[in-house]
Amino acid sequence: MAQASLAAPLRRYCSQHLFSPFKPRHFLFPFSRTSSYSLSQARALRPVVSPSDGDAIDWEGKRSEAARLADRKSRNELKREARRAVQWGVELSNFSPSQIKRALKVASLEKEVYEALMLVKRLGPDVREGKRRQFNYIGFLLRNAEPEVMDALIQAYKDGDTSRLHSLTAKASLSTEGEEEEEIEEASDEDEVVEDYVQVATRWLEGLICNDPSITKEVYGIQNVEFDRQELRRLVRKVQLVQEGRSNDAAALMQAKRPLMRFLRSLSKRTDE
């Protein structure tokens, strides 16, 4: 009886604490001590950025900004270099074939540059867009040339400074004597070809102005190249009108003949290709 009276409070305590949904069950099971408070504390933990890490992040941002500025600067430099190379091509195209070949030899440039320059020299003044594209291509080929050498060569040719040209040639690595002689002969042949173009164009000009039937048939009968026949007639008529004028102004006649001569010289070159 006494034992039953002692066990009754114990049963009530167990029923209240062991089966209650609001109390932890650590009375009889001390090994499962995981409280909601400790779990919430674990979830609340966040990585703390140390001062050294913060400095590294800040340095990375500065380095990225510096890289962007350097990239922008390099793009601007590339644009300037491209424009400079195109200008080199424009300057070189005004020289004779032998001068161009010698300049490219001193600058250690490929034969492809010479061929591109010869092509742009054959383009007439009426082919503006084609010339622009060709000069851009020449600038692309000249992008790796030495700026000091190119500027010095072009300036020496423009000034007619033969001593400077000899000095630049002496510094360059030249080929054997036999190869040089062969190149000089080739350049001379090319000069003769250019002279042939001029002679043909001059013959055409005089014949068209005088209404020579054979010359007129020869020129307007060209079929292997396309050219503006209406523009040619206009240029011929302009020269004839100046000749028919009473003033007999030699300067006006020369000014009228100049565009016609350019047109016919370009046509002569293209028909021979």
SS3 call for 27 = coil
Compute CA distances 208 → 10, 46, 124, 125, 219, whole Å: 135, 94, 19, 20, 9
Spatial separation of the C-alpha atoms in residues 44 and 220, rounded to whole Å = 93
Say what the pLDDT of residue 31 is. 46
Say what the pLDDT of residue 232 is. 93
Say what the pLDDT of residue 60 is. 58
Say what the pLDDT of residue 231 is. 93
140's CB contacts (< 8 A; 6+ apart) are: 82, 85
Say what the pLDDT of residue 235 is. 93
Say what the pLDDT of residue 273 is. 62
Say what the pLDDT of residue 208 is. 93
Domain regions of the chain by residue span: 75-173, 194-271
Say what the pLDDT of residue 129 is. 79
Spatial separation of the C-alpha atoms in residues 45 and 25, rounded to whole Å = 26
Query: Residues of the chain with pLDDT > 90: what percent?
Result: 13
- Segments of the chain scoring below 70 in pLDDT: 1-73, 124, 127, 171-196, 246-249, 273
25-74: per-residue pLDDT in tens?
444 444 444 444 444 454 545 555 454 544 444 555 555 666 666 566 57
* Residue 263: how many other CB atoms lie within 10 Å: 22
